[in-house]
Structure 1
Amino acid sequence: MKKLILAAAIAVFGLSNAQTFGLKAGGNVSSVSNSDDSKAKFGFYAGAFVNVPLAESFNIQPEVLYSGKGVKSDDGSNINLNLDYISIPVMFQYKATPQFYLEAGPEFGFLISAKAKANGNSGDVKSLFNGFDFGLGLGAGYDFTSNFGANIRYVAGVTDIIKNNNGDASRNGVFQFGVTYKFGK
């Protein structure tokens, strides 16, 4: 898996016709479908991207992000599930105006850590979860200047995140909001 992540990072940063490199960071509000008595969990994401023009109004933006996801119990048991991923979204962007864009595309997630916490105790539960997560993202962004911008995105999980799940599929869902910084413009 480390080789796959390294290859993806090299592909993202090695594009020869890349116009803009940047960093992004922000907050995640995540949930897991079919989690009885649960509520959304707040986390964060951070990483890098390259924005490549495809046409006058269309860009592609591959990213490599750390993304903290999970869910919290809502039944008084104080159980928190923390799922840490290396996510590789590939967003296709349409620039509606020079500053405002809409985006959509797939996200490939690789589980790096899964921990459950309950009443002050924590344990590694990574063996219960699938190592790969696939989702579809939809979002929008606004560039305040040529270097600084803000974005929002929702990523709906498509694959079941739990191994040997005999019931309804459990999928990640995450709403992201954050800021971007672009170099060299």
Structure 2
Amino acid sequence: MKKLVLLTVLGLLNYLPGIAQQINFGAKAGLNLATLSEDYDPDVAARTSFHFGAMAEIPISEMFSIQPELLYSSQGATDDGDDDEEVRLNYITLPVLAKYYVFDGLSIEGGPQLGLLLLGEIEDNGETTDVKDISKSTDFGLAFGLGYKMETGLNFGVRYYFGSDINDIAESSDKIKNKVFQISVGYFFN
């Protein structure tokens, strides 16, 4: 048994340098259309914002890879009703996506995403209120989408993220969840 474990470990160590040489690193940026679940406000509408950051693609096989990312993502919502209200929730997000290449360049992707809240505020009729104390500091959810990677390293993606309840008000039963549609352009350097 010890020999089997030793041979397995040695085999993996021999394989790791090959994987490390194949890892692609890149950067991406794009458009967010972000909103909050209707429990927040029935008149809630999308907030147009942005995201940017770094990504890596770790090939597992010819058709399957893992893509971790580290992004700054500006999220929140606006109010379509009588109020002139904007909710700003800015996160550092860490999606880890499984990518399956359907055919050359085109992939479907999905996986978990963790968000760490940096800024939480509501601007209502020109007055800004900090809401970090009533919002959970982390948001965990699922992201899924489509991507297309060109041989030049240029890539494009569309993604939808649905988060968990971020409401941290003990007396409230409202479930407030981030919902974000993203369109991005990126570039893999190697």
**Common fold by TM > 0.5:** yes
Larger radius of gyration: 2
1:142 maps to a residue whose letter is Y
What is the match of residue 153 of structure 1? Answer: 159
Structure 2's unaligned 5+ residue stretches are: 1-18
Q: Quote the Cα distance in structure 2 between the aligned partners of 1:183 and 1:75.
A: 45
- Deviation of 1:124 (Å): 1.6
Give the match's secondary structure for 2:175. Answer: coil
Q: Which among 88, 91, 101 is matched to residue 85 of structure 1? A: 91
- Deviation of 1:120 (Å): 1.6
Q: Which among 115, 121, 125 is matched to residue 109 of structure 1? A: 115
Residue range with higher mean Cα deviation, 16-25 or 122-131: 16-25
Taking structure 2 as the reference length, what is the TM-score of the superposition? 0.85
Q: Deviations over 1:26-48 (max 9, x none)?
A: 01111111222111111100000
Superposition RMSD in Å: 1.4
- Deviation of 1:17 (Å): 5.1
What is the match of residue 34 of structure 2? Answer: 30
What is the match of residue 100 of structure 1? Answer: 106
Percent identical across equivalent pairs? 36
- Deviation of 1:69 (Å): 0.5
Matched, 1:42 2:38: no
What is the match of residue 25 of structure 2? Answer: 21
Moved >2 Å (runs of 4+) = 15-18
What is the match of residue 11 of structure 1? Answer: none
What is the match of residue 163 of structure 1? Answer: 168
- Deviation of 1:122 (Å): 1.3
Evaluate the alpha carbon distance shift between residue 145 and residue 18 of structure 1 in structure 2; reply closer, same or farther with a 3 A threshold: closer
More helix by share: 2
Taking structure 1 as the reference length, what is the TM-score of the superposition? 0.87
Evaluate the alpha carbon distance shift between residue 164 and residue 18 of structure 1 in structure 2; reply closer, same or farther with a 3 A threshold: farther
Q: Quote the Cα distance in structure 1 between the aligned partners of 2:185 and 2:28.
A: 6
Pairing of 1:5-16 with structure 2 (within 5 A): 16=20
1:127 maps to a residue whose letter is D
- Deviation of 1:77 (Å): 1.0
